[in-house]
């Protein structure tokens, strides 16, 4: 299919999923926000499970390579990396392809800490990273009832991209 046809897709949906294991003695960051908790999320980068899921949702919407392909866990340059760097690359690709983010929805699944008191802060921060209004960002949290994943944090994210108005007129 020629690239010009590809440009005529006015909306694209993307989905991302991630999980990381809790480890004692490292800082916890979810959605780029530091949360008070005795355990953080292990991983090659800063383990920010929500930003990883959102990054993969954006890349998936573009049918681009996923986060692990672009930022290999085997590459020492990403050790301890701020996951906002991964998200920024995905956003750059969204813009380059001529799209804007219409909205994002996400669900966190973790036993602790309670996310409710921090939801607004996480939503505002994620909205800021994405360059969209907070009323376009859904942040929900559930506990993993009956799943046996109490030592992990899981995140699901879906995004809707819209072709920029200027591109639609072509």
If DSSP states are collapsed to H, E and C, what string results for the chain?
CCHHHHHCCCEEEEEEEEEEEEEECCCEEECCEEECCCEEECCCCCCCHHHHHHHHHHHHHCCCCCHHHHCCCCCHHHCCCCCHHHHHHHHHHHHHCCEEEEEEEEEEECCCCCCHHHHHHHHHHHHHHHCCCHHHEEEEEECCCCCCCCCEEEEEEEEEEEECHHHHCC
Q: Which of 14, 16, 18, 46 binds Mg ion (CB under 5 A)?
A: 18
Using the contact rule CB under 5 A, the part of the chain among 12-20, 33-41, 121-129, 145-153 near Mg ion is: 12-20
Tell me whether residue 30 or residue 163 sits nearer to Mg ion (CB atom): 30
Tell me whether residue 18 or residue 60 sits nearer to Mg ion (CB atom): 18
- In angstroms, give the least distance from the CB of 67 to Mg ion: 7
Using the contact rule CB under 5 A, the part of the chain among 10-18, 126-134, 141-149, 152-160 near Mg ion is: 10-18
- In angstroms, give the least distance from the CB of 71 to Mg ion: 10
Using the contact rule CB under 5 A, the part of the chain among 52-60, 134-142, 147-155, 162-170 near Mg ion is: 52-60
Interface with Mg ion, residue 52, by CB under 5 A: yes
- In angstroms, give the least distance from the CB of 55 to Mg ion: 9
Contact 71, 90 (CB under 8 A): no
Interface with Mg ion, residue 12, by CB under 5 A: no
Site residues, Mg ion (CB under 5 A):
18, 52
């Amino acid at each position: 299919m020629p690239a010009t046809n590809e440009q005529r897709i006015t909306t694209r949906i993307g989905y991302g999923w991630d999980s990381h294991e809790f480890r004692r003695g490292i800082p916890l960051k979810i959605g780029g926000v530091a949360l008070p908790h005795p355990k953080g999320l292990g991983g090659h980068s800063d383990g920010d499970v929500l930003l990883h899921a959102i990054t993969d949702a954006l890349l998936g919407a573009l049918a681009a390579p996923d986060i692990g392909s672009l930022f290999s866990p085997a590459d020492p340059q990403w050790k301890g990396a701020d996951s906002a760097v991964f998200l920024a690359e995905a956003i750059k690709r969204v813009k380059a392809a001529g799209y804007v983010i219409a909205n994002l929805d996400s669900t966190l699944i973790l036993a602790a800490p309670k996310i409710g008191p921090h939801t607004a802060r996480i939503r505002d921060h994620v909205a800021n990273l994405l360059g969209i209004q907070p009323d376009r960002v859904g942040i929900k949290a559930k506990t993993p009832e009956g799943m046996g994943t109490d030592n992990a944090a899981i995140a699901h994210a879906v995004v809707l991209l819209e072709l920029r108005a200027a591109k639609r007129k072509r």
